Amino acid sequence: MVLKDKVAIITGASRGIGAAVARNLNGAGMKLVIAGRDADALSAVAAGLNDSVSVVGDITAPEMPAKLIAKAVQAFGQCHVVFNNAGVMQLGPTEKTDIDKICEMVRINTEAGFRMAYTAVKYFRSVGGGHLMSTSSVLGTKVRPGGGAYAGTKFAIEALSEALRMELAQTGVKVSCIEPGIVETNLCDHLEVHPKKVFNVKKALDPDDIARSVRFILEQPDHVLIPRLLILPAEQGI
C-alpha cells in the first residue's frame, strides 16, 4: 500500500504505541482519526499531526466503533486502515487480583476490540478492501503465572484475527496482529515489579519500534499479507 493520502483510524492514540503509530503514519502522508479517553493527552498528540481529527470517548461504548468509521468517512471520504490498539494490562497473583479490574480489562481489550474489529471489516467489505490491524502481545502466544487473564484477552484477539483473515482471504480485506514484547509505555506503570526487571531486560522496545513495524506491514504490496509480527527486545528470551 502506498500510504500517502490513505486514511487510518487509531484507537488508544493518546499515548504509547498508539501515539507513536499516529506520528509515523502521519509522517508517511496518511490522514488520521485518532481516538482516546484522555482529552488533554489526545489533544497533545493531535497538535503534532497534519490532516487529523480527534474523537474523545470510551472505546467500550457500544456505539464508538461505528462513530469512528463515520467520522473518517465524514472527514476524509473513506477509511483504509483501522489500527485496533486500545488496551490495558492487569497482572498479578490470584490473592492480589481485583476481579473488577480484570473484568474492566476484558471489556476494553476483548469486548471493545471485537466490536471495533467486526465494525471495521463490515465497512471494508462494503467498500471492497481495507486493512484491520490489532495490537496483541507476546502474551497472545503464551501464558505466564499471574498473567492468565491478560493473556486470555490477547489470545482472544489472536483467534478472532486468524478467523477473520481466513474468512476474508479473497475479499481484498487484510487482517493482521502485532505481538509486542516489553515496550516502554505507561501500560506497566502500576505494576509492583516492571517486566523489564522480571526478565532482566535493560533496553525495552520504544513505541517508535512498534510504529515502524506497523508501517512495514501496511506498506506491503497488495498480494502480500503479514498476518502476525512478533517484535521483541533483543534481550527478551521470551
Q: What is the pLDDT of residues 131-153, one digit of tens each?
A: 999 999 999 999 999 899 999 99
Q: Check: CB of residue 172 under 8 Å from CB of residue 128.
A: yes
Q: What is the pLDDT of residue 135?
A: 97
**b/e for 93-126, b at 16 or more Cβ within 10 A?**
eeeeeeeeebeebbbbbbbbbbbbbebbbebbee
Q: What is the percent of the chain where pLDDT is above 70?
A: 99
pLDDT at 48 over 90: yes
Write out the three cell numbers for 97: 487480583
Annotation says 150 is catalytic: yes
For the chain, which domains are there? 7-231 (3.40.50.720)
89-103, 178-192, 207-221: range with highest mean pLDDT: 207-221
200 — pLDDT class (breaks 50, 70, 90): confident
**Catalytic residue chosen out of the listed positions 76, 83, 123, 150:** 150
Q: What is the pLDDT of residue 71?
A: 98
End-to-end CA distance of the chain, in Å? 31
d(CA 9, CA 24) in angstroms, rounded, equals 13
